[in-house]
Amino acid sequence: MNGMRLEEMAQMYEAFGLSKELINYSNKIIDGLQKRFDDIDEVAEYNQMKVIAAMQKNRVGSEHLAGTTGYGYNDAGRETLEAVYADIFHTEDALVRPQITCGTHALNVALAANLRPGDELLSPVGKPYDTMDEIIGIRPSKGSLREYGVTYAQVDLLPDGGFDYDGIKSAINDRTKMVTIQRSKGYAQRPTLSVERIGELISFIKSIKPDIICMVDNCYGEFVQTIEPSDVGADLTVGSLIKNPGGGLAPCGGYIVGKKEYVEQAAYRLTSPGLGKEVGATLGVNQSFYQGLFMAPVVTAGALKGAIFAANLYENLGYKVIPNGSEPRFDIIQAIELKTPEGLIAFCKGIQAAAPVDSYVTPEPWDMPGYDSEVIMAAGAFVQGSSIELSADGPLRAPYSVFFQGGLTWYHAKLGIMMSLQTMIDAREVKLNEK
C-alpha cells in the first residue's frame, strides 16, 4: 500500500475515534501475523472445496432454494441440504432445521432424544456451558433431564487441561448411556479441544464401554480445522446455524449429524413420534442455509484472524489471554481476562460501537435467561444473537473475562477489536504503553 493510501486508511480509522497511536500499534501487531493468516487461508480453501464438492455430489439445484409451508412434506431442498451436511461431516444422517432455535436447543434435542429414565449422562471435560445447567438439572428447571430420571456425572479436567483418564474410567458405569464433550471453552478458563484430542478421548471411552453414545458440542468449532469431531468417532455432532456453519446468512436454525439411529431419535424428539424428519416447513430459509454454508469456511477464517489479532493485541499489554497469542486455534473464541467489571463493560461498549447495526446502543449487564450471574453482551448483528458476527460477552464475575468472537469479515473484526481497546483507554482501564 503506497503512502497516500496508508494516510487515507489512517484517516478512515481516525474517523471512528481511534488514535494514531492505537492505529500504529495495531498495524505493528498485524505485520507479525501474516504467516498465521496464510495458514488460516489454506484451511479455508480446503474446507471451501469440501463444501462445494458436497453440494455438487448431491446435485443442488435452483429448485432446492425454494421453501415449503404447512407440514413441509416432500421438501426437496431440506432433504438435499441434510444430505449435504451428512457428506461434509462424513456421517450417516443429518438433521438441519429452522425449528431448532439455537445451539442449546439442538443439544437438548440430541440429549433428550437418546436418554431414558435411569440412564446417566457423563461430561468428561468438566462443567458444560452455563445454558446446559438447566437442561441437565444442575440448576433445577422444569423439563430438565433430572426431572425425567436421568442422572449426571462429571469429571473435571486436570490442572494442566489434560483429561483425567483414571477419573473418567471410574465414572463410567452400567448406567452411563451418553457422554457430552464440549469442544469450546464456554465461560470456563480452559483450553478449547482440538478434533484430534476429542478423538483420543472418544477412543478411550469406547475402549471401556463401546456402546456409549459420544456427543460433541461443536459450537464455534466448525471449519476451523480440516476435520470435524464426526471424523474421529463422535456418534453425534451438534451445532448452531447462527454460528460458523450459517456463514452469517442463516437467520436461525441448528444441526445434528451422526449415526442414523441417533439422528432419527432426535428428529422424533424435535417434531413428534411417528413424524420425525418427514415434517418441518422451511418457510423460505433454504437459500440462506445453502448460501451461508457455502460462505462459512471463508467467514470462519475471518473470525479466526480477528481472534488471533485480539490475543496478540491484548497479550502485549499484559493481559492474560486464552488461547495465548501463539497457540494453535480450535475455535473462533478469544477469552481475555480484563480484571475489572469496568474493563469488561468498556470492552463490550467498544465492540458495540463498531457494529453496522445498533452501533448507537450501549450494552449493559442484565440477568439473562439460562445464566446464573449478570451477563453483558455486545452484538450489533444482522441476525439477533448471531455469534459468527462481531460480538463479545461475558459474565460479571471474577476474573471478568470477555469472550470475543466473530466478524463476518476480517476487516470488521479488526475494527471492532481496535475500538474495544480505544474504549478501554478512554475509560482509563489501560494505557497503551503498558507492558
CA distances from 381 to 93, 281, 358 (A): 31, 25, 8
**Cα 416 to the center of its chain, rounded Å:** 18
**Other C-beta atoms within 10 Å of 197: how many?**
19
Element (H, E) at 418: helix 410-426
The topology under which CATH files domain 69-283 is: Aspartate Aminotransferase; domain 2 (3.40.640)
CA distances from 127 to 136, 161, 203, 307 (A): 11, 13, 21, 24
CA distance 57 to 61: 11
**pLDDT per residue as tens, the chain (435 positions):** 566 587 899 999 999 999 999 999 999 999 999 999 999 999 999 999 999 999 999 999 999 999 999 999 999 999 999 999 999 999 999 999 999 999 999 999 999 999 999 999 999 999 998 889 999 999 999 999 999 999 999 999 999 999 999 999 999 999 999 999 999 987 777 889 999 999 999 999 999 999 999 999 999 999 999 999 999 999 999 999 999 999 999 999 999 999 999 999 999 999 999 999 999 999 999 999 999 999 999 999 999 999 999 999 999 999 999 999 999 999 999 999 999 999 999 999 999 999 999 999 999 998 877 667 799 999 899 999 999 999 999 999 999 999 999 999 999 999 999 999 999 999 999 998 744
**Other C-beta atoms within 10 Å of 59: how many?**
9
**Cα 123 to the center of its chain, rounded Å:** 18
Residue 330 DSSP class = S
Contact indicator for 119, 150 with CB cutoff of 8 Å: yes
pLDDT at 404: 93
pLDDT at 368: 72
DSSP E strands in 46-175: the ranges are: 93-97, 120-123, 151-154
Choosing among 3.90.1150.60, 3.30.750.24, 3.80.30.20, 3.40.50.920, the CATH entry for 3-46+294-426 is 3.90.1150.60
Q: Edge-to-edge strand order for the sheet containing 334-337?
A: 321-322, 334-337, 401-405, 391-395, 375-378
Indicate the pTM of the whole model.
Answer: 0.95
Contact indicator for 308, 329 with CB cutoff of 8 Å: yes
pLDDT at 435: 46
Angle between helices 410-426 and 20-31 (to 10 degrees): 130
Domain residue extents for the chain: 3-46+294-426, 69-283
pLDDT at 189: 75
Which has the closest alpha carbon to 81: 70, 67, 71, 69? 67
